[in-house]
Structure 1
């Protein structure tokens, strides 16, 4: 297994497939998953001649189960160390959900020449939780509910989320994939309960507004209009507006986990953006 050891001694697991001379794409997974959530995209872009890289965020998947560092500053610092270790130049960064927040936070701070383009899909920026500054956000009670469900029975909670709102399998006529549900559960249960618990605060309360304003590279913002996890109206259109070079692409009726349910639609759109 490939891994780097960060300055604080954390082992970050990563996959790195393809020619070292090819254009690199780095994938950033959502909560509470792992690099495995990107298998479809990694195989697709590998076949297109790209170098594809995906890491397990600290406390997730095969990376160290640390007692701290489960917030965006540390997540972004871990990515910076991975980019340095692999000496990535002009990389494309793709983030889903929490991973989209990680991408924005990292790209806003990345060393010159490290990042070429970015994609955020079903992503948490600008900020999820409701406040006076963000009246369209979700009440803190929603995130307290996630914490309570995780504390009460994480194993059952990690069946309920993918079986219902994450992939839109709770919608009438939805084509349910038991494999996606089982794989979501498998990835989630590989990670650390403390990391998953603390990451809820990171993805719901971090305000990415200033990060979005600082990002100079082209960013493609993808979002499904039936996203039941990160509501469309308070996320993608606002992020696209804050970005200097942002492009919004909406998908009517698609769910939060659309990269897994509809890769046949999303992958070619990302490819077109990368080739433009």
Structure 2
């Protein structure tokens, strides 16, 4: 275990109550920013943000969610309450105070649950939801604009049948908008998505589909009392904006919404300069 420190310790692991090892990176000094990645990726998905904000004088922290990346390939605990508890354990271990929590996609749900449940007492200063899954993705009688269960069953079938192919098809297509006419496709970005996905455990990835699609974050969003920036591309093909950001902003006490015309789900990678500049402005406000 890494020693507790007021400045970044490089990288390390913590062991949670159920014996799961959570891998994390912790670089720099200054106000901490904690980055929460999407499914089925790892903390490596935040490379463009970690380097940028480290250079801006922040302490940058990112972890691999249980079952993902270099963390334990768990067969249990792959749901939002446990994800949030893992974050709380990491925050306590690193003694992070006045932190800014930034979550993309599934990580946005993790941020909402963590900040609502454990973000009091000076631990959290602000939060950011980027292309995030709240309030709830699944179509239900209470959420008629959501995506039908068949969409998520398709992901489950893909993970079970040929995860390696699914993890090529998603980044090569809708995730980064590379399926749009005239898109400039980066094979390196596609390959890096595949690399991150294949590092994780298939059982955890399978279970996480239910976690990101069926968890209702309505009450979490209502409970958050720190400023929250909601960032979403209007061409997000993974988490459609109409049933996510446009609903979340109505539930937040101190929310600010920024919509990015034509930007895809993975806009923090494809449009890192624009996203980083807006994040910095929000952090300094």
What TM-score does the superposition give when structure 1 sets the normalisation length?
0.99
Q: Does 1:9 align with 2:12?
A: no
For each residue in 1:135-189, what CA deviation from the matched residue of structure 2 results, as whole angstroms up to 9, or x when unmatched?
0000000000110111110000000000000000000000100010000000000
Which of residues 250, 263, 282 is equivalent to 1:273?
282
Equivalent in the alignment of 1:224: 233
Distance in structure 1 (CA, Å) of the matches to 2:238 and 2:47? 22
Shift of 1:67: 1.5
Distance in structure 1 (CA, Å) of the matches to 2:182 and 2:122? 46
For each residue in 1:209-263, what CA deviation from the matched residue of structure 2 results, as whole angstroms up to 9, or x when unmatched?
0000000000000000000000010000110110000000000110000000000
For each residue in 1:23-66, what CA deviation from the matched residue of structure 2 results, as whole angstroms up to 9, or x when unmatched?
00000000000000001100000000000000000000000111
Where in structure 2 are there 5+ consecutive unaligned residues? 1-10
Q: Does 1:184 align with 2:193?
A: yes
Q: Does 1:202 align with 2:202?
A: no
Q: Does 1:18 align with 2:28?
A: yes
Which of residues 25, 42, 52 is equivalent to 1:34?
42
Equivalent in the alignment of 1:63: 71
For each residue in 1:109-137, what CA deviation from the matched residue of structure 2 results, as whole angstroms up to 9, or x when unmatched?
12411100000000000000001100000
Distance in structure 2 (CA, Å) of the matches to 1:183 and 1:2? 22
Secondary structure of 2:265's partner? coil
**Which portions of structure 1, spanning 4 or more consecutive aligned residues, are displaced by more than 6 angstroms?**
none
Which of residues 83, 87, 90 is equivalent to 1:75?
83
1:143-162 equivalences under 5 Å are 143-162=152-171
Equivalent in the alignment of 1:117: 126
Equivalent in the alignment of 1:213: 222
Secondary structure of 2:278's partner? helix
Paired residues, number: 274
Shift of 1:7: 1.0
Distance in structure 2 (CA, Å) of the matches to 1:236 and 1:116? 21
The CA RMSD over aligned residues, in Å, is 0.5
Equivalent in the alignment of 1:133: 142
Distance in structure 2 (CA, Å) of the matches to 1:266 and 1:113? 26
Q: Does 1:93 align with 2:101?
A: yes
Where in structure 1 are there 5+ consecutive unaligned residues? none
